[in-house]
Structure 1
Amino acid sequence: MNSRGFRQQAGFACETCRKRKARCNRVRPQCGLCAEIGVACVVIDQRPQRGPKKGQLDEMRVRIAELEWQLGKQLGNQDPSAMSKSPPNPEHQRSGNTTGSTTPSIIPVPLEDHAHTSHPLNVPTLQTITPARSRASSIIFPTTSNHAATTASATVTTTMPTFLGAEHDTSLPALMDWQDIEMDSGMLADMGNMLQFDLEAGSPVRFLGGFKVTNLVLADLDQLYFDRLHDVLPMIHRRRYFSWADQEKPSPARTCLRSAMHTVAAAMSAQYHSLGDALYQETCQLLESQCMRTLSGCGSSDMSLFASTNNNPGPRPSIAGDKIPIELIQSWLLLAYYDVVRSGEHQAMVTAGRAFRLVQLARLYDVDESSGVEDMPSNPAGSDGDHSDQNIPYIIAEEKRRTFWLAFSFDRFLCSRNEWPLTLQEEAVRTRLPASEASFQNNQPTRVCFLSEAIAMSTSPQCYSSTMIPLSPFAECIVLAALHGRCMTHRRMSMLNTGTDEAQEFWTRHDQLTLAVEKRAQILAQSPSLKLVNRDPMVLFTYMLAQKSVIYLSGTLEMAFLQRQQQQVGDRQLFASSYKWRAERAAVEIVGLADLARSLGCFSMHPFIVDPLACAANFFIRSAQSTNARGPGSARSNSSSSSSINSRNSSNSSMSNNDGEVEKLLCLLRHLGHLNVLAQDYLCTVEAEYSTWCAGR
């Protein structure tokens, strides 16, 4: 029994851990949490006793009674017997106190005669009638001036109801009985504003865009971000963010990141939706000024940094990249996300371009060029389970990886619809794929392969999907985004090169991409994360992206058949029906996933999920148009009449099925259009094409 350890460790927890309600490992001179967030570790051994001091409650009751008597005398609405009474004697009130405590004397407050006025009670009036600057009185009537220590001249601009008859009854229930007060709507509104103050001392309250922004609102926006947006923007370490989020003066880059997180959280909230534009403007101003200061100090004038790198052999690292905070890049990416859902893809492309250039300057594409996660310790936790500061480099490196890959994927998704050229090229990437979310948040260093290795395994015929190790949902999304970028490049090259030699290269690329996409889709289907498809928006979007790539490759093949000559196509036409069948199966799979997407809600969905939905809808419309154009006459001339009737019935059944699938996809696009401007753009395009097809059949 004596060998049983104690749950409570010896000693006192530091002030930082007590404030954050975190478990302190009591390491001296600096505990693990303080070392992680980089603050001084302060330990207070002697603490005062809790609770009010002796006489504070009695003093507060006496002061309330004094104020009520003064108000009643000023307003003159009491009966003559009550008016003839003298004010309550503070010494008499304290004579019944058996505690024997001494309290400061109470100084009466002279009030001017304004009995003829009648105005609602407001906050400045209450803040000017405090008799003295004591702890008890400041609890009820907080003041902002420190010079009114003895007397205060106040102007009472209100008509108080007759509830002051029991001035000698100084108990709190008697003094706070409001049930018989007659109040109009104006007085209720003023009292509501009076009582809605932040309980934290010195907390800032500001108005932004007509919205009252308090610490409670900012905390709610933080929670909204991690509840609704972190799954699709998984680049911020939650514990590390909250370690500095409530600091009064964080670094300028962290201030920009916090403001950007609040901006996108407001965009995904019905309560704070109107606050988003004001936060967006404020964040843009912060980022513009901070980027100007950061980049202006990263020029060639810093000769000390040049001197420190001239002695080192090999390529010299970018001086500007060493000084660019990762929070600035994350902030621009979050604003680009906001532009996608609120402004459109053109403005999002401009904003994302700022992030892409900073990614290149910071050299986030070669985070693992020389050293990677294999140099990190395998056991991330200490003996008592608390994380020490040895894992800070891993957290920072993993945040850099996730920030780069989010920008990499964002580049592919933004350029998909309009076939824009890509900014972040795949050939220069020397950054490992991100680890799982659990490893990232729990500070558990994990080694993951490079993107080139994952794609090489996908394109190799000797490597089967059953033997490949599944990646995390975010890493799978990155691999599929890279494959989709290759599909876009493949289509552009097929439109430019139509010679005989280039035709063979086209078919080789097409077969490799088809094999890679199908393997990744099979890995997703066998992955345990597929069970979370109706709860995790990243898993849902990743699986949709795989199906969309299959449809995209089928469309590229159809365009190649139309452009190339018969001798260049050869016997490849025999495989056209199989590719189209794969695309049709992928489109049906997207419709099934769209039904599951409703359980997530429109606030949590990936912003680019509308792209696979619109792609599947366009495929059904084109397929129905081609079937309707061929008609029953497409049958051979020597076929019987019964086969023609069966062909006509099959055509009508196919068109009716396509109608139902398209309507399901359009319904989800309309649902997403309330929050996503990109969904509105896709909806207009698909509905116009759908209406044209319905009118012409």
Structure 2
Amino acid sequence: MASYLDDQSQLQIDFDIPSSHAGQNPTSYNSGQAATDSNNGDGSYVPRPKRIACAVCRRRKLKCDGRKPSCGTCSRLGHECTYDEARKKSGPKRGYVKQLEARLAQVETLLKTQEPSTTAAPNQEQTFSISMPNEPSGAGLHVMGSSLHNSINSMSPVEGQQVTELPTSFKPEGVDATSSFGWDMISLGLEEPFPAREVIEELNQIYFEKIHAFMPVIHRPRYMATMNFAPTSRPPACLQYIVWAHAAAVSEKYSNLHALFYQRARKYAELDQMKGLGETILSLAHCQTWLLIGCYEYKMMFFPRAWLSAGSASRLAVMLGLHRLDGEGLEVKQCLPPARDWTETEERRRVFWMTFCVDRYASIGTGWPTCIDERDILTNLPASEEAFTNGKMEQTARLSDVLTGEDLSTLSPFASVAFVSCLLGRNLTHLHRPEPQDNDNDLNGVFWQRHRSHDNILLHFALSMPSHLRLPAGMGDANVLFCNLAVHTSTICLHQAAIFKAEKNRMPEQIILESKRRCIVAADQISSIMKMVSSMDMSKMNPFISFCVYVAARVFVQYLKFRPDDTAARSSLQFVFVVLDALKNQNPLTESFLCQLEVDIEGTPFQDIRLPSAGQQTRRSFFAGHTYGEVIHIFP
């Protein structure tokens, strides 16, 4: 079945049926022909007895010679050979043939209604034509393709849904591969063909080379292996399309396709939700789909949709029990069957922790509460990428243990990202979820005790970080890079909250000065890290890196408002603008942060660092009121 799509391109369609056979039953014709052939031979013709393949050959789809007690294949390979004497009923399901006949009748009716208009108005042929590579051109084939497509649309899973198709001349190359759109695709409920096989392979390769580097939630060998299975055994169409959307977004060759792939991914994800009672979405693949959709939407600045998609991924992860894979608790409803092996369990862990991270990023950018409660997590942190890819079992620590300073040496790069995302989320609840006994005007109150506890965790992690998570040793790993940036970002967020509370309650000046010092040191570290990696491929970096750079820029802006003549700070802020300009080419989310920074420096003595242009003025009006980076919870 691996070459199924390739074999479809060799199909030849013949609509000229000889009149002598018109209306004749094909089955009776074939059986009559077989009888004639048998009578032409020897009168002693004896039909060959039917053989039943053994269970092993049947399962592995091998040719079986039917020998008993052990066939030739099993004898050669040393397998236990068994025969199932009770033959299963073969053939299509009941009603399937009638359904096909009804579809064909509908297609024939559409053909009859289209033929006169085709001959009368040949200049309208382009509207109905579907590109058929390696096939002879002909009006009959074009109309057949259009009518078949229209008949499929009329039987859409969602009643009354209308699907707008682009004219053939405007469809991107490689997408309208009609030769791969067979009955197997129709049975999946697809309304358009997949891209050409070469395009699919190239997009998958791009995804695992670039996107997987910072979002390792799909097991590459198993995913690529399923792409060679029958269409019904491959990953859901929604997951395939969002994988291609991410890949196309960072590819110059396919950059014009990512929006189309994203729209189709959302369409099929929503259609799956509406099937039956919604039980179709209870799968790890659909959780991966909504996770990738949410990340794509944040990257493309579809903020309202991104918030809802991230919430869908979080709720689905909890519904699937991904937050309690390694813990014992009260028995709750299990929606997923037990994992087949450690690799599948690890993939579930990774999906959960990436969902956890995106949940934190979304809340940090808006100030709204998180969906996943840290106290409910009973899933260990993810293992190393090498162990995950090779299926080699690796013991990992729990988040609660790492927060107390234990097992830091066992943290993988992806686990470190989950850990610092947890710290970012704690900063949010620290400021936005006050308790009655906080007493933020008292240095010994609960608020300041919590502040010192969070600060101690950050300092301990920064000092005790294992060597494989440090820079520049781990500079080639996107997750190591983001971990180091996020640690300093979390430090800035924590101490900005401290400055706000200290100034509000007129606390000792030394507290304010110490927090300001910590902020400027952390911002300088972020600037130094970005200088270190400025020559790297930006498309392989986590899109939320731009948020870390933006936080550092806000610190420089605040510092320069009091010391506008500090050349080092001016130079750092100017470099940050250069970094954000470079990031926005691969990461449109950066545009939002750039707009906010331009507003922040407007009217200041150092606004000449970034002189406004016509394009910047247009961008400001576009982002007015829709800026992701305008975070009052971080910079009160």
TM-score by length of 1: 0.58
User: Do the aligned partners of 1:473 and 1:539 also contact (CA within 8 Å) in 2?
Assistant: yes
Q: Distance in 2 between matches of 1:563 and 1:274?
A: 51
Q: Distance in 2 between matches of 1:218 and 1:126?
A: 19
Q: Distance in 2 between matches of 1:596 and 1:284?
A: 38
User: Do the aligned partners of 1:344 and 1:678 also contact (CA within 8 Å) in 2?
Assistant: no
CA pair 588-469 structure 1, distance change in 2 beyond 3 A = same
Aligned with residue 257 of structure 1, among 229, 232, 239? 239
Residue 423 (str. 1) matches residue 364 (str. 2): no
Residue 409 (str. 1) matches residue 320 (str. 2): no
Count residues in correspondence. 451
Q: For 1:449-468, what aligned pairs fall within 5 Å after superposition?
A: 449-457=397-405, 468=408
Aligned with residue 624 of structure 1, among 560, 563, 575? 560
Amino acid at match of 2:390: N
Aligned with residue 462 of structure 2, among 501, 521, 528? 521
- What's the CA shift string for 1:642-661, capped at 9, x where partnerless? xxxxxxxxxx3xx2111110
Post-superposition offset of 1:500: 5.4
The 3-state SS of whatever aligns with 1:274 is coil
Post-superposition offset of 1:204: 11
CA pair 125-365 structure 1, distance change in 2 beyond 3 A = closer
- What's the CA shift string for 1:513-565, capped at 9, x where partnerless? 11111222223363366445432211111100001111112211110111114
Unmatched 5+ residue regions in structure 1?
Answer: 1-14, 20-27, 32-38, 47-122, 130-142, 145-188, 299-322, 372-389, 459-466, 629-651
Residue 659 (str. 1) matches residue 617 (str. 2): no
The 3-state SS of whatever aligns with 2:345 is helix
Q: Distance in 1 between matches of 2:298 and 2:607?
A: 34
1:41 corresponds in structure 2 to 60
Q: For 1:12-91, what aligned pairs fall within 5 Å after superposition?
A: 40-43=59-62
1:217 corresponds in structure 2 to 199
Amino acid at match of 2:488: Q
Amino acid at match of 1:346: P
CA pair 126-341 structure 1, distance change in 2 beyond 3 A = closer
Bigger Rg, structure 1 or 2: 1
2:487 corresponds in structure 1 to 546
Q: More deviation in 540-549 or 584-593? A: 584-593
User: Do the aligned partners of 1:235 and 1:403 also contact (CA within 8 Å) in 2?
Assistant: yes
Q: Distance in 2 between matches of 1:547 and 1:540?
A: 12
CA pair 30-542 structure 1, distance change in 2 beyond 3 A = farther
CA pair 294-243 structure 1, distance change in 2 beyond 3 A = farther
Post-superposition offset of 1:669: 0.7
2:599 corresponds in structure 1 to 688
- What's the CA shift string for 1:189-240, capped at 9, x where partnerless? 9xxx9xx99999989999x999993110011110011000001111111111
The 3-state SS of whatever aligns with 1:213 is coil
CA pair 211-239 structure 1, distance change in 2 beyond 3 A = closer
Q: Distance in 1 between matches of 2:2 and 2:201?
A: 18
Q: Distance in 1 between matches of 2:443 and 2:552?
A: 30
Post-superposition offset of 1:253: 5.5
Aligned with residue 597 of structure 1, among 516, 527, 533? 533
Q: Distance in 1 between matches of 2:392 and 2:249?
A: 32
| Overall identity of the aligned pairs, in % | 24
CA pair 514-278 structure 1, distance change in 2 beyond 3 A = same
User: Do the aligned partners of 1:294 and 1:324 also contact (CA within 8 Å) in 2?
Assistant: no
Amino acid at match of 1:333: L
User: Do the aligned partners of 1:205 and 1:215 also contact (CA within 8 Å) in 2?
Assistant: no
- What's the CA shift string for 1:61-82, capped at 9, x where partnerless? xxxxxxxxxxxxxxxxxxxxxx
User: Do the aligned partners of 1:618 and 1:686 also contact (CA within 8 Å) in 2?
Assistant: yes
The 3-state SS of whatever aligns with 1:534 is coil
CA pair 448-283 structure 1, distance change in 2 beyond 3 A = same
CA pair 673-295 structure 1, distance change in 2 beyond 3 A = farther
- What's the CA shift string for 1:572-624, capped at 9, x where partnerless? x4344333323222111111111233232221111100111000011011012
Residue 476 (str. 1) matches residue 416 (str. 2): yes
Q: For 1:84-103, what aligned pairs fall within 5 Å after superposition?
A: none
Post-superposition offset of 1:503: 5.5
Unmatched 5+ residue regions in structure 2?
Answer: 6-53, 66-130, 143-168, 330-337, 609-636
2:290 corresponds in structure 1 to 332
Amino acid at match of 2:358: F
CA pair 507-242 structure 1, distance change in 2 beyond 3 A = same
Residue 580 (str. 1) matches residue 516 (str. 2): yes
- What's the CA shift string for 1:440-476, capped at 9, x where partnerless? 1111112211111111227xxxxxxxx8424001101
State the superposition RMSD in angstroms: 4.0
Post-superposition offset of 1:695: 5.5
Post-superposition offset of 1:429: 0.7
Q: Distance in 2 between matches of 1:657 and 1:602?
A: 25
Q: Distance in 2 between matches of 1:593 and 1:249?
A: 45
Post-superposition offset of 1:662: 0.8
Q: Distance in 2 between matches of 1:430 and 1:575?
A: 37
Q: Distance in 2 between matches of 1:29 and 1:593?
A: 60
Q: For 1:120-519, what aligned pairs fall within 5 Å after superposition?
A: 213-251=195-233, 254-293=236-275, 295-297=277-279, 324-370=282-328, 392-457=340-405, 468-493=408-433, 497-498=438-439, 504-519=445-460
Amino acid at match of 2:426: R
CA pair 492-370 structure 1, distance change in 2 beyond 3 A = closer
Q: More deviation in 543-552 or 289-298? A: 289-298
Amino acid at match of 1:670: D
User: Do the aligned partners of 1:205 and 1:214 also contact (CA within 8 Å) in 2?
Assistant: no
Q: Distance in 1 between matches of 2:586 and 2:305?
A: 16
Q: Distance in 2 between matches of 1:126 and 1:261?
A: 28
Amino acid at match of 1:405: W
Post-superposition offset of 1:294: 6.3
Amino acid at match of 1:240: R
The 3-state SS of whatever aligns with 2:256 is helix
Q: Distance in 1 between matches of 2:347 and 2:604?
A: 48
2:588 corresponds in structure 1 to 677
CA pair 522-289 structure 1, distance change in 2 beyond 3 A = same
Q: Distance in 2 between matches of 1:287 and 1:482?
A: 29
Q: Distance in 2 between matches of 1:244 and 1:426?
A: 34
CA pair 427-201 structure 1, distance change in 2 beyond 3 A = closer
TM-score by length of 2: 0.63
User: Do the aligned partners of 2:349 and 2:381 also contact (CA within 8 Å) in 1?
Assistant: yes
CA pair 201-284 structure 1, distance change in 2 beyond 3 A = closer
The 3-state SS of whatever aligns with 1:469 is helix
Q: Distance in 1 between matches of 2:488 and 2:433?
A: 22
CA pair 43-204 structure 1, distance change in 2 beyond 3 A = closer
Q: Distance in 2 between matches of 1:252 and 1:359?
A: 21
Amino acid at match of 2:365: R
1:138 corresponds in structure 2 to none
Q: Distance in 2 between matches of 1:593 and 1:294?
A: 51
Post-superposition offset of 1:270: 1.5
